[in-house]
């Protein structure tokens, strides 16, 4: 399987990515409707969403990536609308069928590379909100094939700086 490095952001960012191996996608510039829970991607056209908008270009990239960076505003301790909409639309990468992961029931993944994920969560985030978000990502890890992950909390003001510093680390490890 061909693996990629992927950055998904819920807003445009003014950062300079030198490496051609890193793909940056600004979700806010795309047309992505919300999942309607029809399960067509599991039971009608397995592996493909029935809504043919921009999301169908993104979840294959998520599946292929072994290094993944999500950048999202936080709302009520979870991802805000733009990122959450994309994550809900990504269920075609799983099968309907269920297996046990650490004794718990979860879906079987299709061809999804195990991931080293970083989540940059930004906004005015209280300690309570951070705690909820940490629990959320720990759950996501089981469902989204994260082998390892780290969460970085930052403010909107410091966001570009935080992202740039992560990207630099990625580029250093690639060269």
CB of 9 to ligand FMN, least distance (A): 21
Among residues 1, 14, 16, 37, the one that binds ligand FMN under rule CB under 6 A: 37
Work out the widest C-alpha separation in the chain, in whole angstroms: 45
* Complex with other proteins: residue 9 or 85, whichever CB lies closer: 85
Torsion of CA 23, 15, 125, 87, to 10 degrees: -20
Instruction: Say if CB 170 and CB 6 are below 8 A apart.
Output: no
* Complex with ligand FMN: residue 35 or 120, whichever CB lies closer: 35
Q: Does the footprint of ligand FMN cover residue 35 (CB under 6 A)?
A: yes
Residues that bind other proteins (CB under 8 A): 34-39, 42-44, 46-48, 56, 59-60, 63, 75-81, 84-85, 87-88, 90-93, 95-100, 103-106, 108, 110-112, 128-129, 132, 135-136, 139-140, 143
The secondary structure of residue 48, as a DSSP letter, is S
Could you give the CA distance from residue 156 to residue 140 in angstroms, rounded to a whole number?
23
- Look-up: residue for tokens 């992927």? 6
Q: Does the footprint of ligand FMN cover residue 41 (CB under 6 A)?
A: no
Could you give the CA distance from residue 81 to residue 66 in angstroms, rounded to a whole number?
24
| Binding site residues, ligand FMN, CB under 6 A | 35, 37, 88, 91, 143
């Amino acid at each position: 399987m061909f693996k990629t490095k992927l950055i998904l952001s819920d807003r445009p960012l003014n950062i300079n990515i030198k490496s051609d191996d890193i793909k940056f996608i600004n979700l806010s510039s795309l047309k992505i409707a919300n999942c309607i829970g029809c399960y067509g991607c599991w039971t009608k056209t397995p592996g493909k969403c029935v809504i043919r908008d921009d999301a169908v270009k993104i979840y294959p990239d998520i599946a292929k990536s072994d290094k993944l960076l999500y950048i999202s505003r936080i709302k009520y301790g979870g991802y805000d609308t733009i990122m959450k909409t994309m994550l809900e639309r990504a269920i075609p990468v799983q099968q309907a069928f269920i297996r046990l992961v650490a004794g718990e029931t979860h879906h079987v993944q299709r061809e999804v590379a195990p991931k080293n994920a970083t989540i940059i969560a930004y906004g005015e985030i209280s300690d309570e909100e951070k705690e909820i978000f940490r629990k959320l990502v720990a759950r996501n890890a089981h469902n989204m094939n994260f082998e390892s992950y780290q969460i970085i909390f930052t403010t909107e003001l410091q966001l570009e700086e935080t992202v740039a510093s992560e990207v630099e680390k990625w580029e250093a490890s690639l060269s």
